[in-house]
Structure 1
């Protein structure tokens, strides 16, 4: 019976496709730590420091054991009558801590990172079609911000930031691959949304300008630059990068540089 855990959005746990409802905050936090380290031992010290923000109470270890017991009871109830595997086989006790014994594909964050790495290898190899497909498959695993409804201590907070930043990077690379494949028309709606959500990120603005210009909408491409520049000067007190200013000048003057991938996609 397959146990699946999703952390790329709100925390979700299911056994054989049937959801398990977790209502308590700290057991959920412990499970998220174990899921992000699936197949590796998470020490009791690491778990207690995460749950109590580096200041565990004297009763921290016994309380942690109670949280693990609650998680196992939920798993046992879901696994009952579905084969020989028990909760102790899934959430395994080790001498120094606990290990979540799952396949890599059973945790969405682990699967995402595998696809992200494969997609980036395809980017480096110049295989734009494979990069678009592989990165897109990984990005489709996301349902919202990482650990959206999980209380985060020092370690999970770092993991959430790392995952969310990687997602933005992969979005940029997947859109770059699609632009290289001539899919500028299909990208206009997605890029408009991304620029509205991330008004200070130059990469998405540059890609929107390219897509608009290649779709015959130069005036809107220039307006996208104007909005970004206004936001950057007002909020950050800086001008757009030299690369983006060159892209703006190329569109403004109608230079063929807009169609030069080595210029447009120079990272």
Structure 2
């Protein structure tokens, strides 16, 4: 079974879709797919479908949705006429003590692949191998086509999982941009960072990275403008000043003087060193 959740929901068996169109069965499948090969408790499925006010018929209705999913799986299993992988719908979507489990039988999962690639990227960052880190993290991020489960109505459980996945995506993105800055790709980052700081208006690290990319491209005044916009947003929306590290970065820019070598993109380790050692 192959599973995709980093965008629209797509679950396939024998390359045949087993993704229902009806909203609630889609929710059930999405939650099972997110926890593929692990038991999802009935209580979690009930909460996802009906929140804290389930009807008396909740368990019976859930069993109906499970039956509908198994019927779709049965049709997909028929597409393996050679019987090379003899399985029944109940093997794929199994009943377990206290819940249900969706077995992948060695199939693919974009979440697992994202976690594998981003893990390789983080280890490369720790080892100082920034080109490899940028490559591995870039491949991980390329698995995302949209927000997680973009076409699934999310109840409490799916909403929580979607937020968790978005945090992991942002973390990988942050580290990939950091790796790109370390190898001098500041100009290539400008367009992407312009979009990101507009989308994440209070994300300080993305703004700091945008400031650095602009500064190293010889655009100090624009870099300082980014700081002022960030500060105004933080004060207005959250009643906070920028963090100490971002303030130090701004002060370093104020004290520095643009020089011909500034666009060469040499990288340093700290905020102040990043500016004083460039060129």
TM over 0.5: same fold?
yes
Q: CA deviation at 1:134?
A: 1.7
- Which residue of 78, 90, 93 corresponds with 2:92? 90
Q: Which residue is equivalent to 1:22?
A: 20
CA contact (8 A) 1:229 1:239 kept: yes
DSSP-derived class of the 2:152 partner: coil
DSSP-derived class of the 1:239 partner: coil
Q: Which residue is equivalent to 2:277?
A: none
Cα deviations by residue, 1:59-112 (Å, 9 ceiling, x for unpaired) = 222211110111111222233131333433321222332111115762222222
Q: Which residue is equivalent to 1:73?
A: 71
Q: Distance in 1 between matches of 2:115 and 2:267?
A: 31
Q: Distance in 1 between matches of 2:127 and 2:221?
A: 35
Alignment of 1:243-258 (within 5 A): 243-254=245-256
Aligned length: 264
- Which residue of 58, 63, 68 corresponds with 2:56? 58
Q: 1:169 to 1:138 in 2, by over 3 A?
A: same
CA contact (8 A) 1:38 1:104 kept: no
Using structure 1 for the length normalisation, give the TM-score. 0.89
Deviates more, 1:174-183 or 1:45-54: 45-54
Unmatched segments (≥5 aa) in structure 2: 274-279
Q: Distance in 1 between matches of 2:257 and 2:4?
A: 47
- Which residue of 142, 158, 161 corresponds with 2:160? 158
Q: Distance in 1 between matches of 2:200 and 2:272?
A: 19
Q: CA deviation at 1:164?
A: 0.7
Unmatched segments (≥5 aa) in structure 1: none
Instruction: Kindly report the root-mean-square deviation, in angstroms, between the aligned alpha carbons of the 2 structures.
Output: 2.4
Using structure 2 for the length normalisation, give the TM-score. 0.85
CA contact (8 A) 2:224 2:250 kept: yes
Q: Distance in 2 between matches of 1:143 and 1:59?
A: 37
